[in-house]
């Protein structure tokens, strides 16, 4: 069934009206009249769904930590430096590997001297857009987030004062910090440099972004059908919204065994809740969920389709979706358009 819409010719970018020759002009209606064109119901739905999305903007940068090329390079060097761990074995890149989507592709992280963590290493891709970091939102900035793993006993187990002294013993670091910050090495500036590097790990030019920008061929028809489901029957857009495809809020998906944000707020309503993950770059960051319990994007869609887990505090938003097998595949196809290219960096030669 087709629907009909009226468009003013002045808004058309192609010649819908016939380009008549001058001697035919007298027999042709004036081009400033309304012109009727046909649009299929599917095209209308796709246009409506597409309009619900926005391309992602520039990374927010705190006033007290502006980005400079030299600071990015210093932050990268620190990110890969094993001096940041108490045994000089692990670095930030141990759990946030560029070739693994700035995660580690493990269900849960392995920390200091083999410590087995209970949460998945969250990617740092697009982490600069979050107002709160970690699965439970306990860090209010990337600078604060950078400190967490360095000092956590189960992760890197480093003493910050000891780290400063270690770095001061390296002449090249002394020079670098003086060049970048105009002062000697300090904990504050270590964290600022690492956060600055992380703000450059961004994916915002995915196939879907190209589609939003006007390239109708950037994603396949099956992915467009998946977009309709994302924006409709599957209700993904309720939480995976805003340009980052995350509302930044916290939900209990029914996965038992972790108090989640409750450990931060002591609010009963927060028991078992975790922050909505951003979806740009999602094809690179499996396994998925805060506990890494779902290996593939299809597993994730099927999990939601079945109504999530069984935790007593599960959000009322998590309900069975009733997707068919075909619709599951369509939704997965759409999610795969959000992958993009991971910014790859090489570890600097160690000082």
- DSSP codes, 84-112: GSTTS---HHHHSBGGGTTB-SSSS-B-G
> Which residue in 24, 43, 153, 155 is the catalytic one?
155
Active site residue 44: no
- DSSP codes, 297-316: HHHHHHHHHTT----TT--T
Measured distance CA(234)–CA(328) in Å, rounded: 9
Q: Which two tokens stand for residue 2?
A: 């087709």
Question: Residue 37 is inside which H or E element, if any?
Answer: strand 35-40
Measured distance CA(130)–CA(134) in Å, rounded: 10
Core vs surface per residue 221-247: b (16+ CB within 10 A) or e: eebbbbbbbbbeebbbbebbbbbbbbb
Q: CA 93 from chain center: how many Å?
A: 18
Q: CA 173 from chain center: how many Å?
A: 32
Among 31, 30, 48, which Cα is nearest to 39's? 48
Residues labelled catalytic: 155
């Amino acid at each position: 069934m087709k629907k009909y819409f009226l468009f003013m010719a002045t808004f058309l970018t192609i010649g819908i009206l016939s380009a008549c020759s001058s001697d035919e002009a007298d027999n042709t209606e004036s081009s400033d009249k309304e012109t009727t064109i046909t649009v299929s119901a599917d095209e209308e739905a796709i246009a409506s769904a597409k309009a619900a999305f926005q391309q992602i903007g520039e990374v927010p940068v705190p006033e007290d930590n502006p980005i400079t090329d030299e600071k990015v390079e210093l932050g990268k060097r620190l990110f890969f430096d094993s001096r940041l761990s108490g045994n000089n074995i692990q670095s930030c890149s141990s759990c946030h590997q560029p070739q693994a989507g700035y995660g580690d592709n493990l269900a849960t992280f392995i920390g200091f001297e083999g410590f087995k963590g209970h949460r998945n290493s969250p990617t740092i891709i697009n982490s600069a857009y979050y107002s709160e970091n970690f699965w439970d939102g306990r860090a209010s900035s990337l600078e604060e987030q950078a400190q967490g793993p360095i000092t956590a006993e189960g992760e890197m187990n480093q003493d910050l004062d000891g780290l400063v002294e270690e770095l001061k013993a390296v002449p090249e670091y002394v020079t670098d910090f003086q060049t970048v910050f105009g002062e000697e090495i300090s904990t504050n500036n270590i964290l600022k440099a690492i956060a600055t590097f992380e703000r450059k790990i961004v994916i915002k030019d995915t196939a879907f972004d190209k589609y939003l920008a006007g390239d109708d061929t950037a994603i396949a028809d099956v992915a467009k059908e998946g977009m309709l489901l994302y924006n409709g029957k599957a209700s993904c857009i309720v939480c995976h919204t805003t340009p980052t495809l995350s509302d930044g809020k916290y939900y209990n998906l029914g996965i038992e065994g972790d108090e989640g944000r409750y450990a931060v707020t002591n609010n009963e309503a927060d028991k078992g809740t975790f922050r909505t993950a951003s979806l740009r770059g999602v094809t690179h960051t499996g396994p998925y969920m805060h506990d890494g319990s779902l290996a593939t994007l299809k597993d994730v869609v099927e999990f939601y389709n079945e109504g999530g887990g069984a935790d007593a505090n599960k959000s009322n938003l998590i309900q069975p979706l009733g997707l068919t097998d075909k619709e599951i595949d369509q939704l997965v196809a759409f999610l795969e358009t959000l992958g993009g290219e991971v910014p790859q960096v090489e570890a600097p030669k160690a000082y």
